[in-house]
Amino acid sequence: MKLKYLRVFSLCHCSIVEVPNCVGDLKHLRYLNFSYTNIERLPESIGDLCKLQALILRGCDKLSALPPGITKLASLQFLDIRDTSSLKEMPLGMSNLKNLIILSKFVVGLEKGSRLRALQNLPHLQGELFISDLQKVEEVRDAADANLFGKQGLSNLFLRWDEDFGNLRNERRESQVLHYLRPHINIKSLTISHYGGAIIPSWLDGSSYSKLVSLRLRGCPNVTSLPSLGRLPSLKELSLEGLHAIRKIGSEFYGGKTPFPSLTTLTFEEMLAWKEWSHYAGSPEEKDPFSRLQHLIVRRCPSLVGTLPCQLDRLKKLEIHSCPHLNNSTSAIRLPSLRELYIADCSNEILKSLVNLTSLTILKIENLAELVCFDDGFVSCLVKLKELSITSCDELTSLWEDENEMLNLTCLRKLAIESCPRFTSFLARGEMELPCNLERMELNNCPSLGKLPGKMHAVRRLRIKKCPKFMGLNIRWDDPNCNNPMPQLAALETLDIRECEVVESLEEVTAAESLKYLVISRCENLRSLPQRLPTLSRLTDLKIYNCPTLEIEEDFPPLPLTLSTLELKHCPKIKSIASCNIASCKNLTKLEIWDCPALEIEDFPPLPITLLHFYLYNCPKIKSLPNQWRCLTSLRELSIVNCPNIECLPEGGLPPNLRSLEISGCENVKQPVREWGLPLLTSLQSLTIDFGKSMGGGEGDKVCFPPADDAWSLVFPSSLTKLSLSNMRNVERLSRGLPDHLSSLQQLWITDCPKLRDLLEDGLPPSLQHLCIYKCEILEEGCSKLTGRCWPLIQHIPYVLIDYHQIR
């Protein structure tokens, strides 16, 4: 390397897989960053960087080891090896790095020098420290020698044993190890994971850790009791997960007067044997526990019975999942400040126990097997509810008994019902008008639902999916009994109907005069489009997918003039679009036509000059492309794929400002590629050409491509950054001149060229970052790492993919 005085060197997020040995020549380097790269190892020469102060290896997921020479970096202060899951141990002699201030991770080894006691000589550590593989500690004395209590600068500490609790684990030794791993009282966050002991050490039982804000115990299946965590005065977040041996949380958990004075978030998760949660039994003059608790999570505790604490006046968010026996008593739980409630896989009784939910704004319910309909008393207090979501409630038939029960839901904005097989109507009795402010409604996988409410005046977004009995929108005009003067669907802006197999026509959609987005997908019996489609004077997006019976011969309705996106995909019976008058859509920016095998176009209709994106895929009966392409000055992306009956590109050349062009599977286009006028496309960045079946004048059938040396400038524009060439069946070599002409090329893809033997003799562009070769058997052999004849030409490229295997 020539940059011998370089101080800072960063290749963060670069596509590199190895670091050259010459990096050790950068003697003046202070900062070196290889984070989020694919390197597997570092060269031993790293140890020669005697002035290096910071080495960043975060996110190097394939890094398996650190070189022994790293322990010679006496000036190193910052070593970041977070998110390096393949790193299995530390190099011998880590204790030599006495100036380390930040060591984000330490992997315990078995050999002397990589054992836990190596931390003894690192007194200046600050910030975060993650110690993993603590099950490898064989001598308890190592934990004491590590002297975590003496490291006053540590604020976040993670102590992790292996997840495998096999026969090699020693419960007594792990208890002693954790006892000696006591951190300094300045610690702010502590996480203990997969600890195999039965006892949480006594040092955590008390008020000495007055600065501890976060405590997490995860995957500790042998712990049978908890210390008095309620005595930690600053604790804000407490998470207990996977403590399978805990059967009771009682008075010892609280630990005295005014327990948990600062706690805001409390999580109990996957505590399989936990059965009893004893409520705090303090004297009348004492404050209730959890006086500041705002977020409570109880998840996957299948044995827990009884009720939640009754006084949670500040609780704002409550999540209860998979606790089928919780709240099997009649005790009422008052939650006056609750804003978000999530209940899943529980008994319906839990809803009955929650009262005074006057602040609730979000309610999400999943898999309450006994829920048939909401009780009147529960709904009446939901005066601030904005979002209601119900999922997988098998017995749910309706939401409310009658319209009076929902009169208080004046704030409801979003309603979603999913996978409720018996849900048939919103009201058990009578017709209903949706809450006046309801703007968004989603109905998914409700096989018994046949119709929507007759009054949906405020709904702006309506999505209906997998409702096989749904026949269409239920529109009533000029209802004298309606108190809302707005016409039906007057506010509807987005309508998305998918997989509703009974729907045959959607003519009533045209009543939604404000509609902007219309999506129709997988409606297998849809036979026609609304003939009054052009009356939707605000429609901007029309997308029709997978409608196999949608048959249009010559009566495709005219398009609204406001349309900006038109997508027709997988509609095998659409035969013509001539009558839709695409050219009149002066705002159209995107046109996609995919898999319409019956669509026959002799003379493609003109396109508006506003078009930005045009995609034509798998349409074998289309015989031409729009004329006067040179006028489409706004067009940026053009793809013509698998349209075999197109015989030539329009005269006058391609749209001049293209940035991306793909032409493949068009075997009857016989114009030689050099006659396409590609060099005139000075903005073109991405080009894909498939030469299959002699497309492009048979240039892929010649021995050399391009046919003459230094002909790249006659075929391709110099602006290209990505080039993909495929199906050059007889090409044996690429001609000279590519490095000089395509000097900005970053990606080169070569596919299905079975006779191609060599890459360019004069090399590849220095700018190339990605080289991908697929189904080129002879060339693949020549590109073998280190031994292939082409390896010297490609070894400088950061990312090389051969037959979908990364070799560099």
Query: Which tokens is 554 given?
Result: 């010559």
Q: With respect to residue 229, please indicate whether it lies within any of the assigned structural domains.
A: no
Is 646 within 8 Å of 622 (Cβ atoms)? yes
Q: With respect to residue 724, please indicate whether it lies within any of the assigned structural domains.
A: yes
pLDDT for position 179:
95
What contacts 503, CB < 8 A, 6 or more positions away? Answer: 470, 471, 472, 497, 523, 525, 526
pLDDT over threshold 80, residue 768: yes
Q: With respect to residue 545, please indicate whether it lies within any of the assigned structural domains.
A: no
| Type of residue numbered 632 | L
Query: Which tokens is 170 given?
Result: 């020693």
pLDDT over threshold 60, residue 400: yes
| Type of residue numbered 588 | L
Give the range among 90-94, 317-321, 569-573 with minimum mean pLDDT. Answer: 90-94
Place of tokens 């707005």: 486
Residue from 343, 405, 365, 415 nearest 385 by CA: 415
What confidence category does residue 337 fall into, taking pLDDT thresholds of 50, 70 and 90?
very high
What confidence category does residue 252 fall into, taking pLDDT thresholds of 50, 70 and 90?
confident
Percent of the chain with pLDDT over 90: 62
pLDDT for position 486:
47
Q: Residue 405 to residues 374, 428, 775: CA-CA distances in angstroms?
A: 9, 11, 66
CA 546 to chain centre: 26
Residue predicted with more confidence, 262 or 791: 262
Q: With respect to residue 15, please indicate whether it lies within any of the assigned structural domains.
A: no
- Average of per-residue pLDDT values in the chain: 90
Q: With respect to residue 256, please indicate whether it lies within any of the assigned structural domains.
A: no
Could you give the CA distance from residue 329 to residue 632 in angstroms, rounded to a whole number?
72
pLDDT for position 465:
97
What confidence category does residue 328 fall into, taking pLDDT thresholds of 50, 70 and 90?
low
pLDDT for position 286:
63
pLDDT for position 62:
93
Most confident listed range (521-530, 690-699, 780-789): 521-530
pLDDT over threshold 50, residue 477: no
- Specify the DSSP element, H or E, that contains 770: strand 770-774
Give the range among 229-238, 607-616, 662-671 with minimum mean pLDDT. Answer: 662-671
Most confident listed range (116-125, 160-169, 404-413, 475-484): 116-125
Is 154 within 8 Å of 127 (Cβ atoms)? yes
Strand partners, 542: 518, 566
Residue from 273, 227, 233 nearest 250 by CA: 227
Give the range among 512-526, 621-635, 787-801 with minimum mean pLDDT. Answer: 787-801
pLDDT over threshold 80, residue 487: no
90-149 tens-digit pLDDT: 999 999 999 999 999 999 988 876 789 999 999 999 999 999 999 999 999 999 999 999
Give the range among 12-21, 262-271, 387-396, 441-450 with minimum mean pLDDT. Answer: 12-21
86-104 tens-digit pLDDT: 998 899 999 999 999 999 9
Q: With respect to residue 228, please indicate whether it lies within any of the assigned structural domains.
A: no
Give the range among 66-70, 262-266, 277-281, 572-576 with minimum mean pLDDT. Answer: 277-281
What confidence category does residue 234 fall into, taking pLDDT thresholds of 50, 70 and 90?
very high
pLDDT for position 483:
46
Is 32 within 8 Å of 3 (Cβ atoms)? no
Centre a 10 Å sphere on the Cβ of residue 800 and count the other Cβ atoms it contains.
Answer: 22
What confidence category does residue 265 fall into, taking pLDDT thresholds of 50, 70 and 90?
very high
What's the average model confidence in pLDDT over 405-425? 91
Alpha-helical runs (H) found in 602-659 = none
Q: With respect to residue 41, please indicate whether it lies within any of the assigned structural domains.
A: no
pLDDT for position 709:
66
What confidence category does residue 159 fall into, taking pLDDT thresholds of 50, 70 and 90?
very high
pLDDT over threshold 80, residue 778: yes
What's the average model confidence in pLDDT over 736-749? 89
pLDDT over threshold 90, residue 406: no
What confidence category does residue 475 fall into, taking pLDDT thresholds of 50, 70 and 90?
low
What's the average model confidence in pLDDT over 759-788? 86
14-60 tens-digit pLDDT: 878 889 888 998 999 999 999 999 899 999 999 999 999 999 999 99
pLDDT for position 351:
86
Could you give the CA distance from residue 136 to residue 298 in angstroms, rounded to a whole number?
33
pLDDT for position 481:
52
Could you give the CA distance from residue 169 to residue 194 in angstroms, rounded to a whole number?
11
pLDDT over threshold 70, residue 329: no
Q: List phi, psi (to 5°) of 757.
A: -100, -40
Place of tokens 């491509």: 705
pLDDT for position 785:
80
Q: What is the 3-state secondary structure of 120-177?
A: HHCCCCCEEEEEECHHHCCCHHHHHHHCHHHCCCEEEEEEECCCCCCCCCCHHHHHHH
Q: With respect to residue 787, please indicate whether it lies within any of the assigned structural domains.
A: yes
47-89 tens-digit pLDDT: 999 999 999 999 999 999 999 999 999 999 999 999 999 998 8
Count structural domains, the chain. 1
CA angle 800, 806, 808 (to 5 degrees): 50
Could you give the CA distance from residue 700 to residue 777 in angstroms, rounded to a whole number?
17
677-718 tens-digit pLDDT: 999 999 999 999 998 876 766 676 788 888 776 678 878 999
CA 449 to chain centre: 32
Could you give the CA distance from residue 620 to residue 599 in angstroms, rounded to a whole number?
8
Percent of the chain with pLDDT over 70: 95
Centre a 10 Å sphere on the Cβ of residue 695 and count the other Cβ atoms it contains.
Answer: 23
The strand pair at 805-806 and 799-802 is best described as antiparallel
Q: Helix or strand or coil: residue 806? A: strand
Is 108 within 8 Å of 129 (Cβ atoms)? no
pLDDT over threshold 50, residue 560: yes
pLDDT over threshold 70, residue 436: yes
Residue 727 belongs to domain spanning: 670-806
Residue from 161, 166, 156, 168 nearest 143 by CA: 161
Could you give the CA distance from residue 261 to residue 718 in angstroms, rounded to a whole number?
68
Q: List phi, psi (to 5°) of 426.
A: -80, -35
pLDDT for position 432:
66
